[in-house]
């Protein structure tokens, strides 16, 4: 493991030395979210748009089953909402939506119908402003955000005051240092821990550590699901997208096709499949559904 990393009391891996809050804020606002780079692309194919919608529908199905309600009169806060695919899905379901992001760039381009529900600014300062206003939500989404946060534990504790009774936090994080990645390293299919990227990702979670940080801070784990284990392509020399970067697009397309295919069969069965994969710590991402105790 990278000598700059340590495993903390919750079992997730983090950098020993982290950037200052101002340094991190400048990095994201100036070098990432304002441009068509990183998570933002110039355009998406129809299959990719279906994929985004399907992944949100899978989460929605699990949320409804946990809340034991089909009531559309619910509210959701998406912290770091990016291009707005999730809040647009919930808007169409009749939910009261709110998104926070450093920039309106992604939302303007992909989901302009949600612009009037977007708060632009520092994610953590704006979250604190909502707390001060005593606004509460049925569901809070953190989609690939927790790994970027300087103090994940502090954020989780703060978010408790934004939740209504019988409400949920839905958290998706990269599933790093997973068994497939470890085998790829052991078999010399890859040369290094390519998923360790500073300062983009400051913490590296798996199923167990994600559960532990929430459960030890006042939450009950209701469900854990993973997704397609795209890392499996690393084990085949003919599909290894790290040793041959040109294979990345085809690996991505294969993932999209597979995910969309099984989703069409059954949303519920897809979730069952990914719950089982999560038990093995397999899947590129892990999503946890956490309810206040």
What's the Cα-to-Cα distance from 176 to each of 3, 131, 171, rounded to whole Å?
A: 16, 31, 15
Residue 61: what pLDDT? 96
**DSSP string for residues in the chain:** --TTEEE-TTS-EEESS---HHHHHHHHHHHTTTSS-TT--S---HHHHHHHHHHHHHHHHHHHHHHT---S--EEEEET-TT-HHHHHHHHTT-EEEEEES-SHHHHHH-GGGGGGEEES-HHHHHHHHHHTT--EEEEEEES-GGG-S-HHHHHHHHGGGEEEEEEEEEEEEBTT-HHHHHHHHTTSSSS-TT--TTT--EEB-HHHHHHHHHTTTEEEEEEE----GGGGGGSTTT-TTTSGGGHHHHHHHHHHHHHHHHHH-HHHHHHHHHHHHHTT-SSEEEEEEEE-
Mean pLDDT, range 95-119, rounded to an integer: 94
- pLDDT tens per residue across span 220-230: 999 999 999 99
For the chain, the average pLDDT equals 93
Residue 23: what pLDDT? 87
**In the predicted structure, residue 37 carries a pLDDT above the cut 60:** no
* Structure tokens, 289: 């559904």
Residue 40: what pLDDT? 53
Domain range list for the chain: 5-36+61-226+285-292
Q: What is the pTM of this model?
A: 0.94
Collect all residues with Cβ–Cβ distance below 8 Å to 194 and sequence separation of at least 6.
Answer: 242
The percentage of the chain sitting over the pLDDT mark of 70, rounded to a whole number, equals 94
Residue 205: what pLDDT? 97
- pLDDT tens per residue across span 235-270: 999 999 999 999 999 999 999 999 999 999 999 999
**In the predicted structure, residue 33 carries a pLDDT above the cut 60:** no
Measured CA to CA, the distance from residue 121 to residue 102 in angstroms comes to 5
Measured CA to CA, the distance from residue 53 to residue 67 in angstroms comes to 21
**In the predicted structure, residue 280 carries a pLDDT above the cut 60:** yes
Measured CA to CA, the distance from residue 287 to residue 221 in angstroms comes to 11
**In the predicted structure, residue 70 carries a pLDDT above the cut 90:** no
Q: Report whether 286 contacts 274 (CB < 8 A).
A: no
Residue 140: what pLDDT? 98
**In the predicted structure, residue 42 carries a pLDDT above the cut 70:** no
Mean pLDDT, range 59-74, rounded to an integer: 87
Q: Report whether 152 contacts 146 (CB < 8 A).
A: yes
- pLDDT tens per residue across span 14-30: 999 999 988 887 787 66
Nearest to 114 by CA among 141, 80, 91, 146: 91
Nearest to 128 by CA among 158, 164, 167: 158
**In the predicted structure, residue 38 carries a pLDDT above the cut 80:** no
**What CATH superfamily classification does 5-36+61-226+285-292 receive?**
Vaccinia Virus protein VP39 (3.40.50.150)
């Amino acid at each position: 493991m990278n000598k700059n990393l340590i495993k903390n009391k919750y079992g997730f891996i983090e950098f020993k030395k982290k950037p200052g809050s101002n340094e991190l804020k400048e990095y994201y606002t100036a070098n990432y979210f304002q441009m068509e780079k990183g998570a933002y692309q110039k355009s998406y194919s129809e299959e990719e748009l279906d994929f985004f919608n399907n992944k949100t529908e899978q989460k929605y199905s699990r949320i409804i089953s946990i809340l034991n309600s089909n009531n559309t009169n619910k509210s959701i806060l998406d912290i770091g909402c990016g291009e707005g695919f999730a809040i647009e899905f919930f808007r169409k379901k009749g939910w009261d939506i709110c998104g926070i992001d450093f920039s309106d760039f992604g939302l303007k381009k992909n989901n302009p119908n949600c612009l009037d529900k977007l708060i632009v600014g520092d994610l953590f300062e704006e979250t604190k402003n909502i707390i001060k206003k005593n606004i509460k939500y049925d569901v809070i989404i953190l989609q690939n955000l927790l790994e970027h946060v300087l103090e994940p534990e502090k954020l989780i504790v703060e978010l408790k005051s934004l939740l209504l009774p019988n409400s949920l936090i839905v958290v998706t994080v990269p599933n790093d240092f997973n068994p497939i990645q470890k085998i790829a390293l052991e078999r010399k299919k890859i040369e290094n821990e390519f998923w360790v990227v500073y300062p983009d990702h400051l913490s590296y979670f798996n199923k167990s550590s994600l559960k532990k940080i929430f459960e030890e801070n006042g939450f009950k784990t209701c469900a854990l699901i993973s997704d397609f284990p795209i890392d499996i392509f690393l084990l085949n020399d003919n599909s290894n997208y790290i040793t041959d970067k040109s294979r990345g697009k085809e690996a991505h397309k294969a993932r999209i096709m597979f995910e969309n295919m099984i989703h069409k069969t059954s949303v519920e069965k897809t979730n069952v499949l990914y719950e089982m994969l999560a038990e093995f710590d397999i899947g590129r991402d892990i999503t946890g559904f956490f309810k206040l105790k």
